Amino acid sequence: MIKIELAIETLVKNKVEFVIVGDIAITAHGSAYITKDLDFCYSRNKANLKNIVSALAPFKPRPRGFPENLPYIFDETTLRNATNFTFETEIGDVDLLGEVAGIGVFSEVKEFSTLMELFGFEARVLSIEGLILAKRAAGRPKDLLVLPELEAMQESLLKEQDAG
Amino acid sequence: MRKLNPKVEEWLLNPPPGSKAAAAKEFGVDLTLLIGTLRMTPTERLKELQVSMESLAEFSKQARIWREKNRDKN
Protein backbone atom coordinates (compact mmCIF):
# COMPACT_ATOMS: atom_id res chain seq x y z
CA MET A 1 0.00 0.00 0.00
CA ILE A 2 1.48 3.31 -1.08
CA LYS A 3 1.99 6.16 1.39
CA ILE A 4 0.72 8.81 -1.00
CA GLU A 5 1.76 11.96 0.85
CA LEU A 6 5.27 10.71 1.56
CA ALA A 7 5.75 9.55 -2.03
CA ILE A 8 4.68 12.91 -3.48
CA GLU A 9 6.75 14.80 -0.90
CA THR A 10 9.97 12.93 -1.71
CA LEU A 11 9.48 13.33 -5.48
CA VAL A 12 8.77 17.07 -5.23
CA LYS A 13 11.51 17.81 -2.69
CA ASN A 14 14.05 16.03 -4.90
CA LYS A 15 12.92 18.07 -7.91
CA VAL A 16 11.82 15.04 -9.90
CA GLU A 17 10.06 15.92 -13.17
CA PHE A 18 6.99 13.69 -13.06
CA VAL A 19 3.31 13.44 -13.90
CA ILE A 20 1.03 11.31 -11.72
CA VAL A 21 -0.91 8.96 -13.99
CA GLY A 22 -3.09 5.90 -13.33
CA ASP A 23 -5.62 5.39 -10.58
CA ILE A 24 -4.23 7.94 -8.10
CA ALA A 25 -4.64 10.58 -10.82
CA ILE A 26 -8.23 9.40 -11.31
CA THR A 27 -8.88 9.74 -7.57
CA ALA A 28 -7.27 13.19 -7.47
CA HIS A 29 -9.81 14.29 -10.10
CA GLY A 30 -12.76 12.98 -8.08
CA SER A 31 -13.34 9.27 -8.61
CA ALA A 32 -14.03 7.11 -5.56
CA TYR A 33 -11.93 4.35 -7.14
CA ILE A 34 -9.51 2.52 -4.81
CA THR A 35 -5.96 1.62 -5.81
CA LYS A 36 -2.79 0.44 -4.06
CA ASP A 37 0.09 1.89 -6.04
CA LEU A 38 1.42 5.16 -7.42
CA ASP A 39 2.11 5.31 -11.16
CA PHE A 40 4.05 8.23 -12.54
CA CYS A 41 5.51 9.13 -15.90
CA TYR A 42 8.98 10.62 -15.66
CA SER A 43 11.40 12.56 -17.79
CA ARG A 44 14.33 10.39 -18.87
CA ASN A 45 16.91 13.16 -18.97
CA LYS A 46 20.13 12.54 -17.04
CA ALA A 47 19.45 15.07 -14.27
CA ASN A 48 15.99 13.66 -13.66
CA LEU A 49 17.23 10.07 -13.39
CA LYS A 50 19.67 11.29 -10.74
CA ASN A 51 16.84 13.05 -8.89
CA ILE A 52 14.66 9.92 -9.01
CA VAL A 53 17.47 7.91 -7.45
CA SER A 54 17.86 10.55 -4.70
CA ALA A 55 14.10 10.53 -4.09
CA LEU A 56 13.48 6.79 -4.00
CA ALA A 57 16.77 5.14 -2.98
CA PRO A 58 16.16 5.84 0.76
CA PHE A 59 13.07 3.63 0.48
CA LYS A 60 15.00 0.67 -0.99
CA PRO A 61 13.20 0.04 -4.30
CA ARG A 62 13.28 -3.47 -5.74
CA PRO A 63 11.38 -4.86 -8.73
CA ARG A 64 8.15 -6.50 -7.58
CA GLY A 65 8.54 -10.26 -7.57
CA PHE A 66 12.35 -10.07 -7.63
CA PRO A 67 13.92 -12.90 -5.56
CA GLU A 68 14.61 -11.68 -2.02
CA ASN A 69 17.96 -13.44 -1.78
CA LEU A 70 19.39 -11.65 -4.83
CA PRO A 71 21.01 -8.23 -4.58
CA TYR A 72 19.47 -5.36 -6.55
CA ILE A 73 21.17 -2.10 -7.33
CA PHE A 74 18.93 0.91 -7.82
CA ASP A 75 20.92 3.64 -9.51
CA GLU A 76 20.99 5.84 -12.60
CA THR A 77 22.44 3.02 -14.73
CA THR A 78 19.52 0.80 -13.78
CA LEU A 79 17.07 3.51 -14.82
CA ARG A 80 18.92 4.14 -18.08
CA ASN A 81 18.73 0.47 -19.06
CA ALA A 82 14.93 0.24 -19.23
CA THR A 83 11.89 2.49 -19.59
CA ASN A 84 9.16 1.14 -17.34
CA PHE A 85 9.65 -0.20 -13.82
CA THR A 86 7.35 -1.74 -11.22
CA PHE A 87 8.96 -1.31 -7.81
CA GLU A 88 8.07 -2.28 -4.29
CA THR A 89 9.52 0.15 -1.78
CA GLU A 90 9.33 0.81 1.94
CA ILE A 91 6.60 3.38 1.18
CA GLY A 92 4.61 1.05 -1.07
CA ASP A 93 4.39 0.09 -4.71
CA VAL A 94 5.62 2.66 -7.21
CA ASP A 95 5.50 2.27 -11.00
CA LEU A 96 7.77 4.43 -13.14
CA LEU A 97 6.64 4.86 -16.73
CA GLY A 98 8.85 6.34 -19.41
CA GLU A 99 5.85 6.54 -21.67
CA VAL A 100 2.10 6.20 -21.39
CA ALA A 101 0.04 4.21 -23.92
CA GLY A 102 -2.21 6.45 -26.01
CA ILE A 103 -0.22 9.61 -25.22
CA GLY A 104 3.52 9.10 -25.52
CA VAL A 105 6.70 10.05 -23.69
CA PHE A 106 7.05 12.46 -20.76
CA SER A 107 7.02 15.68 -22.82
CA GLU A 108 3.73 14.61 -24.43
CA VAL A 109 2.25 13.41 -21.15
CA LYS A 110 3.17 16.77 -19.57
CA GLU A 111 1.10 18.51 -22.28
CA PHE A 112 -1.91 16.54 -21.04
CA SER A 113 -1.28 17.30 -17.38
CA THR A 114 -2.60 19.84 -14.95
CA LEU A 115 -0.90 21.34 -11.89
CA MET A 116 -2.58 20.44 -8.62
CA GLU A 117 -1.85 21.30 -5.03
CA LEU A 118 -1.43 17.99 -3.24
CA PHE A 119 -0.56 17.92 0.47
CA GLY A 120 0.85 21.44 0.18
CA PHE A 121 3.06 20.58 -2.83
CA GLU A 122 2.52 21.46 -6.47
CA ALA A 123 2.47 18.30 -8.58
CA ARG A 124 1.51 17.51 -12.14
CA VAL A 125 -1.41 15.12 -12.62
CA LEU A 126 -2.60 13.65 -15.90
CA SER A 127 -5.76 15.50 -17.00
CA ILE A 128 -9.12 13.74 -17.30
CA GLU A 129 -8.74 14.02 -21.09
CA GLY A 130 -5.32 12.36 -20.86
CA LEU A 131 -6.63 9.64 -18.56
CA ILE A 132 -9.42 8.84 -21.03
CA LEU A 133 -6.87 8.53 -23.87
CA ALA A 134 -4.58 6.34 -21.74
CA LYS A 135 -7.35 4.07 -20.48
CA ARG A 136 -8.79 3.63 -23.98
CA ALA A 137 -5.33 2.75 -25.33
CA ALA A 138 -4.57 0.32 -22.48
CA GLY A 139 -7.87 -1.37 -23.29
CA ARG A 140 -7.86 -3.96 -20.50
CA PRO A 141 -11.22 -4.68 -18.85
CA LYS A 142 -10.12 -2.86 -15.65
CA ASP A 143 -9.20 0.21 -17.73
CA LEU A 144 -12.44 0.23 -19.69
CA LEU A 145 -14.48 -0.06 -16.48
CA VAL A 146 -13.47 3.44 -15.34
CA LEU A 147 -14.20 5.14 -18.68
CA PRO A 148 -17.91 5.94 -18.08
CA GLU A 149 -17.07 7.67 -14.78
CA LEU A 150 -14.14 9.56 -16.33
CA GLU A 151 -16.35 10.76 -19.18
CA ALA A 152 -19.01 11.91 -16.70
CA MET A 153 -16.28 13.73 -14.72
CA GLN A 154 -15.02 15.41 -17.88
CA GLU A 155 -18.56 16.50 -18.75
CA SER A 156 -19.17 17.84 -15.24
CA LEU A 157 -15.89 19.77 -15.36
CA LEU A 158 -16.97 21.43 -18.61
CA LYS A 159 -20.37 22.23 -17.08
CA GLU A 160 -18.63 23.77 -14.07
CA GLN A 161 -16.43 25.91 -16.32
CA ASP A 162 -19.47 27.02 -18.34
CA ALA A 163 -21.36 27.88 -15.14
CA GLY A 164 -18.41 30.05 -14.08
CA MET B 1 -13.88 21.30 1.11
CA ARG B 2 -14.51 23.06 -2.19
CA LYS B 3 -17.83 24.31 -3.45
CA LEU B 4 -19.39 22.41 -6.31
CA ASN B 5 -21.60 24.57 -8.52
CA PRO B 6 -25.26 23.80 -7.60
CA LYS B 7 -26.17 23.55 -11.31
CA VAL B 8 -23.53 20.84 -11.82
CA GLU B 9 -24.73 19.04 -8.70
CA GLU B 10 -28.33 19.12 -9.92
CA TRP B 11 -27.22 17.98 -13.37
CA LEU B 12 -25.37 15.00 -11.85
CA LEU B 13 -28.34 14.12 -9.64
CA ASN B 14 -30.70 14.19 -12.62
CA PRO B 15 -28.53 13.62 -15.68
CA PRO B 16 -30.29 14.47 -18.94
CA PRO B 17 -30.82 11.55 -21.34
CA GLY B 18 -27.98 11.22 -23.83
CA SER B 19 -25.40 12.83 -21.53
CA LYS B 20 -22.18 11.13 -20.44
CA ALA B 21 -23.43 11.32 -16.85
CA ALA B 22 -26.62 9.47 -17.81
CA ALA B 23 -24.50 6.82 -19.55
CA ALA B 24 -22.31 6.48 -16.43
CA LYS B 25 -25.39 6.12 -14.21
CA GLU B 26 -26.79 3.49 -16.58
CA PHE B 27 -23.40 1.70 -16.43
CA GLY B 28 -23.64 1.55 -12.63
CA VAL B 29 -21.59 4.53 -11.49
CA ASP B 30 -22.99 6.02 -8.28
CA LEU B 31 -23.18 9.70 -9.21
CA THR B 32 -24.11 10.69 -5.64
CA LEU B 33 -20.70 9.35 -4.57
CA LEU B 34 -19.09 11.34 -7.38
CA ILE B 35 -20.81 14.52 -6.15
CA GLY B 36 -19.34 13.86 -2.71
CA THR B 37 -15.79 13.55 -4.03
CA LEU B 38 -16.14 16.50 -6.41
CA ARG B 39 -16.98 18.64 -3.36
CA MET B 40 -13.53 17.80 -1.94
CA THR B 41 -10.14 19.26 -2.78
CA PRO B 42 -7.65 16.92 -4.51
CA THR B 43 -5.71 16.56 -1.24
CA GLU B 44 -8.90 15.63 0.64
CA ARG B 45 -9.66 13.01 -2.02
CA LEU B 46 -6.19 11.47 -1.69
CA LYS B 47 -6.40 11.52 2.13
CA GLU B 48 -9.69 9.66 1.89
CA LEU B 49 -8.12 7.18 -0.54
CA GLN B 50 -5.29 6.57 1.95
CA VAL B 51 -7.80 5.86 4.73
CA SER B 52 -9.70 3.47 2.42
CA MET B 53 -6.47 1.66 1.48
CA GLU B 54 -5.52 1.27 5.15
CA SER B 55 -8.99 -0.03 6.05
CA LEU B 56 -8.91 -2.55 3.20
CA ALA B 57 -5.43 -3.71 4.20
CA GLU B 58 -6.57 -4.19 7.81
CA PHE B 59 -9.70 -6.01 6.66
CA SER B 60 -7.61 -8.35 4.47
CA LYS B 61 -5.22 -8.98 7.37
CA GLN B 62 -8.05 -9.84 9.77
CA ALA B 63 -9.68 -12.11 7.17
CA ARG B 64 -6.37 -13.94 6.68
CA ILE B 65 -5.96 -14.41 10.45
CA TRP B 66 -9.53 -15.70 10.71
CA ARG B 67 -8.97 -18.18 7.83
CA GLU B 68 -5.75 -19.47 9.41
CA LYS B 69 -7.42 -19.89 12.82
CA ASN B 70 -10.36 -21.75 11.31
CA ARG B 71 -8.48 -23.80 8.73
CA ASP B 72 -8.61 -26.98 10.77
CA LYS B 73 -12.26 -26.56 11.73
CA ASN B 74 -13.53 -26.82 8.12
What is the per-residue pLDDT for B74?
A: 60
Strands (E), chain A: 18-21, 38-42, 62-63, 85-89, 92-97, 99-100, 104-105, 113-118, 121-126
Using pLDDT thresholds of 50, 70 and 90, give the confidence band for residue A33: confident
Give the whole-angstrom CA distance, residue A30 versus residue A147.
13
3-state secondary structure (DSSP) of residue A39: strand
What is the per-residue pLDDT for A86?
A: 95
Closest residue of chain B to A152, computed from CA coordinates: B21
Give the whole-angstrom CA distance, residue A162 versus residue B20.
16
Residues of B in contact with A155 (CB under 8 A): 19-21
Angle, alpha carbons A50-A14-A3 (nearest 5°): 110
How many C-beta atoms lie closer than 10 Å to residue A92's C-beta?
18
Q: Which helix (H) or strand (E) holds B34?
A: helix B31-38
Q: Which helix (H) or strand (E) holds A153?
A: helix A147-163
B3 pLDDT higher than 80 = no
Among the partner residues B5, B38, B50, nearest to A30 by beta-carbon distance? B38
Q: Which helix (H) or strand (E) holds B72?
A: none
B72 pLDDT higher than 80 = no
Q: Which amino acid, one-letter code, is at B1?
A: M
The ipTM (two decimal places) reads 0.89
Contacting residues for B1 by C-beta, under 8 A, at least 6 apart: B39, B40, B41, B44
Give the whole-angstrom CA distance, residue A134 versus residue A123.
19
A136 pLDDT higher than 80 = yes
Chain A, 23 to 42: residues with Cβ < 8 Å from chain B are 24, 27-32, 34-36
Longest dimension (CA), chain A: 59
